[in-house]
Structure 1
């Protein structure tokens, strides 16, 4: 990466720690002065002058995403836009016909709400491809739909028991339907049909990084990396195909604990040995539970209905837990969090349900007690349901709440799949972002792309309005949880920078709040086309674009268009 020359950016600029400033000086990839001091410095150095027309902010981050998976969606049949099962089947058939050389048809990600209960039948895919395995991931990335050939190769029959941490959806006669929930079940198929090859994964990383740069994002937390994906990240870095900064969260598997601990350290060492400035692997990902949509999120009280529409009481004796699934037993999760924390990793815990959030907080508290208080910046991601008794604990424990604000709306996913599961009373308790902020919690934001859009401005529009794109409902859903625009912008800039342990997210040259990686904040910057704080309706924040993006003072994206984008 070549060092850019000195630069003076003049025009409206803002960060959470400085407020508004009107000039910014950049040298050697760092912010060195603001305001009049920046202009004086530019006269002395002959710095390049750059005019800012919209609003200059610290570059945005994505605190929880799956960029490799997102990039891979372009490699298979394009099922995401499909609005019916028939459309998906037709798309898979056309793709398979165009690619006779492929032994496996892989794709993502279909809309699980197209079928009641999200139960998709293998026979529907058999109509498209009867002779090769087909493996499609759902939008939630916790569910997979396969054809009969894939079931056959995996040896999944009516006699196959549900594996640990997984569920095989079944027909009334006990035969496998074709829908596999959670990774214990999904791994049965993956082990039989194999994984993506290296080059498509490297292409996916490059594609995703370019998309992020165009969105004004320069740092991403990949929230799920195993031995399968790690070689692709290393290859992308070695080949100069990594456009933005990425921290890899290495997946800890409860089925392999505590033996997994050494594997995690070895994977981290591979990345450290590479010593690439844009790639780190200092985080460990742990799943506390699943997701509400397939009734695997862990709740303090039973679901209203489970995946087949029946209440939990009607499932007595079938093995379906009425309150969801803890991926790790609570005591084992606490042990694992303390262990990875002792190894110097940053714990990053997926927790959707209120029971899972409590267990995750308990685990961080255990690590704090065992290892001592330190600047660990543990992350609990998603925080869909947080019990009132647990909301103050985030700030007390120094835990970052990573929110996916795009989910906090009454869209089809919410009304078709979530509302029936949780019921009216719990629905109104979801995504308590304002409550967490009021209690002093550090908020960061994520997209969970490709589960949902990577566009940070779409997420901010929902965070600040609690409305759908059609502005439903008037006044916003649970409007007391709306975030002020500056708070949402802070979470996307300073919040994600704090999560990343980097001196970034601020325009103050003397700021060392976020990291100790050099003198002054890194000049990762984004020029927005509009100032989101000045819009009359916060729902219009989704019209904001990134005009230019700089990575350590080097321009990596420039666009003059303000057209509405689709997903990367």
Structure 2
């Protein structure tokens, strides 16, 4: 990763904190780490926050920052667990009104996000579907209003399906959109048999927005998603983000997209 120019990574699990500390203590850590932990909806808030604060006190160093709490708001489209505003396409073979469901009840999410900001941490939320992202924005708006005017750096990541009105809200709330352009090409073996089946052609063609987020004032970042994106070559990501082209059309037996 150093060879590709990466200078920092984010770790959403506290499983690796001992390893990061050992590397840092022995001057073998070659990049900055934004570490944190993932809060769970079925566990009480206070013990999780206590653990987060303890981790910060023990593990934070010059190269390791304990700054971020991770949340998962929904699942993924390929598992039919991404939470959508409109039902999955009939080609998916599900109930006609099936939209999946959130991982968090809204009032609980609001409370957790409020506490995270009050404790001085940043929010980072996995959100795939448009219903999920709307719920997350509702929670972030609630928490940010309660905690006053600050330079928040809260993040929603993945953003596969986003309603146009919520792109504008992201910009207004100064929410960062963390995208993974490795996924943004329409790979035939995946798009034809997964995304277009689950979402329908029209909705699938508009998935993974980037420019429209930027046009709405959203600060957009590019990142990998190891181990889902095992080869995190940033130059592939930059190319795909701009062109939506296949980086290896010969392999897939299709013409280059221009």
* 1:269 aligns to 2:57 (yes or no): yes
The TM-score, its normalising length taken from structure 1, stands at 0.43
Query: Which of 1 and 2 has greater Rg?
Result: 1
Aligned 1:490-509 pairs, distance under 5 A: none
Please list every run of at least 4 consecutive aligned residues from structure 1 whose deviation after the TM superposition is greater than 6 angstroms.
none
Find out whether 1:465 has 2:243 as its counterpart.
Answer: yes
Q: Which residue of 112, 133, 137 maps to 1:336?
A: 112
CA contact (8 A) 2:157 2:177 kept: yes
Cα contact 1:467–1:473 (8 A) shared by 2: no
Query: What do residues 186-215 of structure 1 show as CA deviations (whole Å, max 9, x unaligned)?
Result: xxxxxxxxxxxxxxxxxxxxxxxxxx1111
The Cα of 1:459 is off from its aligned counterpart by 0.6
Secondary structure of 2:42 counterpart: helix
Q: 1:465 to 1:369 in 2, by over 3 A?
A: same
Q: Could you say which residue in structure 1 is the equivalent of 2:10?
A: 221
Deviation at 1:401, TM superposition (A): 0.6
Note if 1:431 corresponds to 2:208: yes
CA distance in 2, matches of 1:271, 1:253: 21
> Corresponding residue for 2:199?
422
Paired residue for 1:409, among 179, 185, 196?
185
Q: Which residue of 2 aligns with 1:282?
A: 67
Deviation per residue, 1:425-474 (Å, 9 max, x gap): 21012111000111111111111122113111111110011111245665
Query: Could you tell me how far apart the structure 2 residues matched to 1:390 and 1:373 are?
Result: 21
Tell me the SS of whatever aligns to 1:312: coil
- The reply on whether 1:357 has 2:145 as its aligned counterpart is no
Which residue pairs with 1:446 in the alignment? 223
- Paired with 1:253 and 1:323, the residues of 2 have a C-alpha distance of 22
Give 1:278 deviation, angstroms: 1.1
2:78 to 276, 293, 301: 293
Structure 2 unmatched ranges of 5 or more: none
- Where structure 1 has 5 or more consecutive residues not aligned to the other structure, the ranges are 1-211, 314-320, 477-568
CA contact (8 A) 1:408 1:462 kept: yes
For residues 414 and 241 of structure 1, the distance between their equivalents in structure 2, rounded to whole angstroms, comes to 41
Give the C-alpha shift of residue 231 in structure 1.
Answer: 2.0
1:101-139 residue CA offsets vs partner (Å, 9 max, x unmatched): xxxxxxxxxxxxxxxxxxxxxxxxxxxxxxxxxxxxxxx
SS in 2 for 1:256: coil
Number of aligned pairs?
Answer: 251
| Cα displacement (A) at 1:305 | 5.5
User: How big is each residue's C-alpha offset from its partner over 1:127-154, in whole Å with a ceiling of 9 and x where there is no partner?
Assistant: xxxxxxxxxxxxxxxxxxxxxxxxxxxx
Scaled by the length of structure 2, the TM-score of the pair is: 0.91
Deviation for aligned residue 1:303: 1.4
Q: Which has the higher strand share?
A: 1
State the match for 2:122 in structure 1: 346
Q: Specify the SS of the correspondent of 2:217.
A: coil
The secondary structure found in structure 2 opposite 1:359 is helix
CA distance in 1, matches of 2:39, 2:129: 20
Contact 1:304 1:312 in 2 (8 A): no
> Once superposed, what is the RMSD of the aligned Cα atoms?
1.8
